[in-house]
Amino acid sequence: MAKLTDKLDFQGIVDSVKSVLNPDAMVPEAEKGDKVSGEMVDVMLLLKEMEEEHNKLGQKLATLNHKLHSLYKLMHVEGAAKKAEDSPKDEPAAKAEPEDKEE
């Protein structure tokens, strides 16, 4: 177990995980010959790229939502205008026929 703890830099791993949780933290450089450190740096870089892509997709989704809302409003307004055109104009009420009076 002592050999393992000598090879692994636990504090470095903890610091790397902390920087993953805080994406604004700088990505540390991998130490030469340390495969674990190299893999962690690769994972951190991928996470950073994914976060940037996620933010871009969020912006695109917001734009799409805005356009759909505008389209809905346009359809609603045009639909209401068409319905108003198609409805019969106010016509005077038909004259009631005189009722037959029985004598």
Q: Is residue 4 part of a domain?
A: no
User: Could you list the residue range(s) of the whole structural domain that residue 41 is in?
Assistant: 31-67
Evaluate whether residue 78 is within a structural domain: no
Please give the angle made by the CA atoms of 60, 45 and 26, to the nearest 5 degrees. Answer: 105
Whether 53 maps to a domain, the answer reads yes
Q: What is the pLDDT along the chain (103 residues), one digit of tens a residue?
A: 556 556 666 667 766 666 666 655 566 676 777 888 888 888 989 999 999 999 999 999 999 999 999 999 998 888 777 777 777 765 555 555 566 655 5
User: Quick check: is 61 in a domain?
Assistant: yes
Number of domains in the chain: 1
**3 inside domain:** no
- Asked, for residue 62, whether it belongs to a domain, the answer is yes
pTM assigned to the model:
0.43
Q: Is residue 36 part of a domain?
A: yes
User: Looking at the domain assignment, is residue 85 inside a domain?
Assistant: no
Element (H, E) at 68: helix 35-86
